[in-house]
Amino acid sequence: MPAVSEHCFCALPLADFNLTLPVMMGEFLLLMVFLDKFWFGPVGKVLDERDQSLRGKLALVKDNGSEVGANADADERGRCTRCLPARPGRAGGCW
């Protein structure tokens, strides 16, 4: 058996770049294209549709605020004209 000191480890490269590196790069690129086309694309589309729907509903609610306020004012004025007169021991006005 040869002694350990007889082996020369100087000739061994630090990394062996053979055909494995280009194959792994190709697999990574194919996986990236596949995931973008079949996973992230459809999920992004669903999220965009949901966002658009929510923004539309929010815009309707914001536009509806002035109408609700006007209806509340009109209703309040309508009640005040129909209120019963003040009774003894009770203040007049709306219930």
Delimit the domains of the chain by residue range: 46-76
d(CA 80, CA 19): 88
The token pair at 26 is: 């190709």
Q: What percent of the chain has pLDDT over 90?
A: 37
The more confident residue out of 16 and 27 is 27
CB of 92 within 8 A of CB of 79? no
Read off the pLDDT band of 26 (50, 70, 90).
Answer: very high
Read off the pLDDT band of 21 (50, 70, 90).
Answer: confident
The token pair at 15 is: 């990394």
Reported pTM: 0.46
Q: Tokens 């209806």 — which residue?
A: 71
Averaged confidence pLDDT in the chain = 76
**Residue range 78-90, pLDDT digits in tens:** 554 445 555 555 5
**Residue range 49-80, pLDDT digits in tens:** 999 999 999 888 877 766 666 666 666 665 54
